[in-house]
């Protein structure tokens, strides 16, 4: 999993069996250590609850209860829970399968974004694991890239069921348990949860895999409010190359109303596989705009190629030898075509009668010269025809652009509430709206620096040249 970190607990033996090694991860409820099961002589992962949380009897009991529920899951795409116990100070812990590899977050940091094929492969495995939990009556509640593990051999597993609860046990509470960047609207607002909350989080993960960013960024309160009140922006406004069918599935999975989402992870898995089956290979393998190359600098899709490495065009192509002989290659160039005269065949034919005073074409009086001569085409006239044709094509293309996506066309204003001004500008630019102004205004409920709306409003149809005003909160 993640890189090992030093920790003061390294070395203790839990219940005479599990020898703690270095810390490899830490979350909101527990810390994870690499450990050795001395009885079976194998490497495991031990998840030790934070001591301050263990002081709450209800929280400790929930930790143990949910661990037992997660231990019932046996699936190739779910990290197995092997054992459970208590440390000498009474803090509960879990013993889990140790996955040697990295997390999906690590992959995103390296790549920036994935191709549709790669994203679907990862998500199908992860959602398959979630589907097993949903069939067992459990909801994960904290689906995010950090909790999707990728083993060295490529196996994908879902980890950290520490917030898992049975479907019937999800009730409103005064705090949000989960990661706000992937939290469903009902989790943020404290409403009753079911399997569709995990579907929403999985949709946000897929959104991030395809375009390299989450739909909402900023302060936690602003992000939570955006999930609760706003709508997830159209994925294709940020990543135009994403296939339309895949963008529609992301939109369906991240619908604010749970009734509009797939019913559970099993339903979502079926839709993922259906979309993948209908996409062409070139759609599946299209590289994303925000893919990070090895040097770390993102290269926008469609950027001009480096002229030093650009493939030669038809007029710059180097001379190539044809065949395997050692003869020198010869470049054939068009020569100046001399006037060519077609003469009659060598058979003796009587000379045609000539009318007095009639001149033959070409001014020649040779009776054997034909009436028509083959002469080279007139270059100026040909060039004029080609230029007129090129102008006609350019005019048609310009007219099409003008009507479709240019100043004569319209585009839809994306939803940017809950984001920061810079991210909002990027969303708008992705929709073709570059003329953006910022208007600051106080707002008693929104932290400073958060977009609270636009003029025209989200989903309004505007022309690309029109100005869009961002209303940014200055705080109370």
Instruction: Give the residue numbers marked as catalytic.
Output: 142
Can you name the residues that pair with 451 across neighbouring β-strands?
472
What tokens appear for 147 in the block? 């909790």
29 Cβ contact list (under 8 Å, min separation 6)? 49, 50, 53, 63, 162, 163
| C-alpha–C-alpha distance, residues 177 and 167, integer Å | 15
CA 246 to chain centre: 10
Q: Give the residue carrying structure tokens 């399968």.
A: 97
CA 57 to chain centre: 42
| C-alpha–C-alpha distance, residues 411 and 430, integer Å | 11
Q: What is the DSSP string of 403-429?
A: HHTSTTS-EEPPP-TTS-HHHHHHHHH
14 Cβ contact list (under 8 Å, min separation 6)? 20, 35, 46, 85, 87, 93
CA 230 to chain centre: 21
Q: What is the DSSP string of 127-180?
A: HHHHHHHHHTTEE-S--SGGGEEEETTS-EEE---TT-EEGGG----SS--S-G
3-state secondary structure of 87: coil
| C-alpha–C-alpha distance, residues 126 and 209, integer Å | 13
Q: Centre a 10 Å sphere on the Cβ of residue 308 and count the other Cβ atoms it contains.
A: 5
Q: Give the residue carrying structure tokens 């909160």.
A: 473
Nearest to 428 by CA among 406, 412, 404: 412
Q: Centre a 10 Å sphere on the Cβ of residue 373 and count the other Cβ atoms it contains.
A: 13
Q: What is the DSSP string of 261-325?
A: S-SSHHHHHHHHHHHHHHS-HHHHTPPPTT---TTS----TTPPPPTTTPPP-TTTPPP---SS-
């Amino acid at each position: 999993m993640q890189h090992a970190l030093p920790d003061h607990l390294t070395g203790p033996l839990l219940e005479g069996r599990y020898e703690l090694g270095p810390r490899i991860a830490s979350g909101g409820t527990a810390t994870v250590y690499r450990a050795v099961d001395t009885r079976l002589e194998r490497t495991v992962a031990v998840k030790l609850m934070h001591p301050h949380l263990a002081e709450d009897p209800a929280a400790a009991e929930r930790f143990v209860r949910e661990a037992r529920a997660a231990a019932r899951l046996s699936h190739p795409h779910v990290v197995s829970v092997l054992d459970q116990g208590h440390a000498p100070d009474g803090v509960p812990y879990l013993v889990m399968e140790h996955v040697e590899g990295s997390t999906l977050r690590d992959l995103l940091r390296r790549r920036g974004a994935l191709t549709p094929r790669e994203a679907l492969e990862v998500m199908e495995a992860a959602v398959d694991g979630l589907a097993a939990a949903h069939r067992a009556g459990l909801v994960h509640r904290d689906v995010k890239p950090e909790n999707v593990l990728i083993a060295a051999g490529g196996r994908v597993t879902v980890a950290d069921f520490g917030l898992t609860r049975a479907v019937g046990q999800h009730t409103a509470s005064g705090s949000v348990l989960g990661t706000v960047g992937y939290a469903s609207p009902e989790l943020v607002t404290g409403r009753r949860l079911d399997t569709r909350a995990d579907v929403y989080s999985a949709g946000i993960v897929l959104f991030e895999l395809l375009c390299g960013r989450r739909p909402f960024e900023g302060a936690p309160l602003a992000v939570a409010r955006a999930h609760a009140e706003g709508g997830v922006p159209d994925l294709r406004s940020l990543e135009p190359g994403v296939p339309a069918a895949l963008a529609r599935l992301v939109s369906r999975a991240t619908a604010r109303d749970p009734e509009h989402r797939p019913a559970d992870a099993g339903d979502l898995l079926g839709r993922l596989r259906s979309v993948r089956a209908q996409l062409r290979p070139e759609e599946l393998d299209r590289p994303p705009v925000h893919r990070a190359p090895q040097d770390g600098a993102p290269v926008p899709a469609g950027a001009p190629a480096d002229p030093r490495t650009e493939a030669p065009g038809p007029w710059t192509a180097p001379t190539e030898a044809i065949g395997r002989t050692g003869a020198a290659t010869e470049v054939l160039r068009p020569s100046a075509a001399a006037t060519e005269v077609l003469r009659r065949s060598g058979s003796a034919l009587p000379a045609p009668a000539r009318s007095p005073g009639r001149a033959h074409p070409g001014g020649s009086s040779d009776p054997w010269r034909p009436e028509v001569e083959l002469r080279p085409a007139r270059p100026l006239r040909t060039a004029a025809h080609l230029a007129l044709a090129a102008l006609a094509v350019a005019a048609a293309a310009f007219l099409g652009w003008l009507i479709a996506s240019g100043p004569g066309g319209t585009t839809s204003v994306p939803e940017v509430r809950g984001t920061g001004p810079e991210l909002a500008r990027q969303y708008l630019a992705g929709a073709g709206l570059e003329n953006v102004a910022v208007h600051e205004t106080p707002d008693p409920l929104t932290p400073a620096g958060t977009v609270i709306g636009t003029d025209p409003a989200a989903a309004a149809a505007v022309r690309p040249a029109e100005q869009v005003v961002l209303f940014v909160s200055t705080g109370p």
